[in-house]
């Protein structure tokens, strides 16, 4: 820590604010920034495309999202995390990265050029129509999930790109090759790279969505389909470039570093199953706090976002219009998040510390959610006010408020939330980083989203519409944000203890205590040696 503090004083005021990086660190930082940019570019493209596909599909709407996240998304996350754990136990971490990336890229190729063109043959529309006559109205989302099953799988794989590739693989890699004194300077810049990609992805998607149908192109029967094929092609190209940069980092940069602790590979690997990963997590109070924070964020953002998307679908029923609007929002998110990454996250961490910076995200979600739900509840009474003051309909005003909420919360998520969450892993050993992070980002991340979706799903089955269930959603949201804030406070105490002058001894005691609860006798010795 002293190295960082003293080192930063060598920079001028402007450079310390914008680019607090030493010359010898650039050979590692710049390729990592490029990797993050490419992975996050795909994340942003896929995030908006998957919503457009499932929400505007035949006989579908925003109510399909909670059903997908509970019945397909969560099991998919568990299976993918199980696969990652098995691969980690058998292959080097570098090879695991190649295998996991290849799985996703091959799937997106198959979807674009085989599954989507044959969707009318593959989708059971006749059977789904019969189900629609039999089942209650609250099950319309479940039927839409089944009817458009190829879109459902695309939604799941697109969502898992963020969970597995961005959070488990990239951030796991970054946490292992980045030292603590580097993290306070690097991680804000990682956020800058990711958020810049959000701007680029949003503008590329907007540009392609505005293009007219070209009958001379071999794929697509309308403008939306052609723009979708173009976007997936860009995702594939970006994925291949990511593999090339990752290969360069491992062979040309990390192998030359003298500090063995900065290498991506563990000296010894203790094979652990997914079940053992969770036992590992549950026996660490520190990791439990991180879990509460991750689960809480995903529940809260899911509770608000699904209601917003239902209003957006009502305002823009056309796939091209829906995709155009949501990508304009994505562009603004990138701009806001880039500004926050440059001027807020890194500087807040250095000036105010981890706890204050981590508390910014739940505070932002609380304030913006109150604004959105307030307008949503009184939408029917705002006709005259909405036109007089804002020149728009009450529905458009609610969509605008939801857009502002999404922009600020996603901006906070991609900067201060991700930076503080990933920094929380840095003081831990490689064993804790890999196993705890795989469980938290691979499954607990999805558990939060599935939890929010389960709340929506249960309420929809009873109330049928989002309008009727919204007051209960808002009440749950306030409770979750309160739990989140408490977890941040206690994790901040633990983090400050680990990063104090006695951090090495503290980490050792933390690991040994968890190891004692996991194994005994000779296994304890083996566990300590692995750590």
pLDDT, residue 373, reads: 93
- Residue tagged 């990791």 (tokens): 287
pLDDT, residue 468, reads: 87
pLDDT, residue 256, reads: 56
pLDDT, residue 274, reads: 60
Per-residue pLDDT of the chain in tens (531 residues, 90 and over written 9): 334 444 455 666 666 666 777 777 788 889 999 999 999 999 999 999 999 999 999 889 888 999 998 899 889 988 998 899 899 889 888 899 999 999 999 999 999 999 999 999 999 999 999 999 999 888 889 999 999 999 999 999 999 998 899 888 998 888 888 777 777 677 767 767 777 888 899 999 999 988 888 887 878 788 889 999 999 999 999 999 999 999 999 887 776 554 444 444 444 445 556 676 677 778 888 999 999 999 999 999 999 999 999 999 999 988 888 999 999 998 998 888 878 877 887 788 888 899 999 999 999 999 999 999 999 988 888 887 888 788 889 999 999 999 999 999 988 887 889 889 988 988 887 777 777 777 787 677 778 888 888 898 888 888 888 888 989 999 999 999 999 999 999 999 999 888 875 444 444 444 344 333 333 333 222 222 222
Q: Which residues contact 528 (CB under 8 A, 6 or more apart)?
A: 511, 512, 515
Q: Which helix (H) or strand (E) holds 459?
A: helix 445-463
pLDDT, residue 37, reads: 93
Q: What is the 3-state secondary structure (H, E, C) of 484-505?
A: HHHHHHHHHHHHHHHCCCCHHH
Buried b (16+ CB within 10 A) or exposed e, 98-108: eebbeebbebb
Boundaries of every domain in the chain: 19-259+274-499
Which tokens sit at 89? 């136990």
pLDDT, residue 502, reads: 45
For residues 94 and 250, is the Cβ–Cβ distance under 8 A? yes
d(CA 192, CA 47): 18
CA quadruple 174, 336, 477, 41: dihedral sign: negative
| Eight-state DSSP code of residue 398 | H
For residues 365 and 281, is the Cβ–Cβ distance under 8 A? no
What pTM does this model have? 0.76
Which tokens sit at 518? 């996991």
d(CA 197, CA 191): 10
82: number of CA atoms within 13 Å, CB side?
7
pLDDT, residue 441, reads: 73
Give the CATH fold of the 19-259+274-499 domain. Growth Hormone; Chain: A; (1.20.1250)
d(CA 61, CA 139): 12
């Amino acid at each position: 820590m002293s190295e960082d503090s003293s080192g930063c004083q060598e920079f001028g005021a402007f450079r310390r604010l914008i680019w607090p990086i030493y010359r010898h660190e650039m050979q590692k930082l710049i390729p990592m920034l490029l990797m993050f940019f490419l992975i996050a570019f795909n994340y942003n493209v896929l995030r908006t495309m998957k919503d457009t596909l499932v929400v505007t599909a035949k006989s579908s709407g925003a109510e399909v999202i909670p059903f997908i996240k509970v019945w397909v998304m969560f099991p998919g996350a568990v299976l993918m995390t199980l696969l990652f754990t098995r691969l980690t136990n058998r292959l080097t971490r570098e090879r695991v990265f190649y295998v996991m990336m290849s799985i996703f890229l091959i799937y997106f190729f198959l979807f674009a050029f085989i599954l989507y063109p044959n969707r009318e043959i593959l989708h059971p529309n006749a059977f789904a129509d019969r189900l629609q006559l039999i089942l209650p109205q609250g099950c319309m989302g479940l039927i839409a999930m089944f009817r458009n099953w190829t879109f459902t799988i695309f939604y799941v794989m697109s969502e898992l790109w963020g969970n597995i590739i961005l959070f488990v693989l990239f951030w796991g890699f970054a946490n292992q090759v980045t030292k603590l004194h580097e993290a306070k300077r690097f991680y804000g810049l990682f956020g800058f790279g990711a958020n810049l990609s959000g701007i680029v992805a949003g503008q590329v998607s907007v540009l392609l969505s505005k293009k007219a149908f070209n009958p001379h192109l071999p794929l697509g029967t309308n403008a939306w389909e052609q723009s979708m094929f173009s976007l997936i092609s860009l995702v594939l190209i970006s994925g291949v470039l990511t593999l090339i940069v990752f290969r360069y980092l491992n062979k040309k940069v990390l192998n030359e570093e003298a500090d063995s602790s900065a290498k991506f590979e563990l000296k010894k690997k203790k094979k652990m199953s997914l079940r053992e990963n969770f036992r590992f997590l549950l026996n660490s109070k520190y990791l439990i706090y991180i879990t509460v924070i991750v689960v809480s964020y995903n529940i809260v953002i899911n509770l608000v976002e699904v209601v917003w998307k239902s209003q957006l679908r009502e305002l823009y029923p056309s796939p091209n219009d829906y995709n155009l609007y949501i990508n304009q929002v994505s562009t603004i998110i990138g701009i806001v998040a880039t500004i926050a990454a440059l001027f807020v996250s890194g500087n807040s961490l250095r000036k105010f510390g981890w706890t204050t910076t981590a508390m910014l995200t739940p505070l932002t979600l609380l304030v913006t959610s109150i604004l959105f739900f307030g307008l949503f509840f009184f939408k029917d009474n705002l006709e005259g006010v909405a036109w007089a003051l804002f020149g728009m309909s009450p529905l458009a005003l609610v969509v605008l408020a939801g857009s502002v909420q999404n922009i600020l919360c996603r901006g906070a998520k991609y900067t201060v939330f991700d930076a503080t969450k990933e920094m929380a892993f840095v003081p831990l050993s490689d064993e804790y980083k890999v196993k705890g992070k795989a469980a938290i980002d691979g499954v607990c991340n999805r558990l939060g989203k599935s939890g929010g979706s389960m709340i929506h799903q249960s309420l929809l089955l009873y109330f049928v519409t989002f309008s009727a269930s919204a007051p209960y959603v808002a009440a749950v949201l306030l409770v979750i944000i309160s739990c989140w804030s408490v977890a941040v406070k206690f994790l901040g105490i633990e983090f400050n203890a680990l990063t104090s002058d006695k951090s090495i001894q503290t980490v050792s005691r933390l690991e040994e205590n968890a190891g004692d609860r996991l194994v005994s006798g000779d296994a304890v010795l083996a566990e300590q040696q692995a750590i």
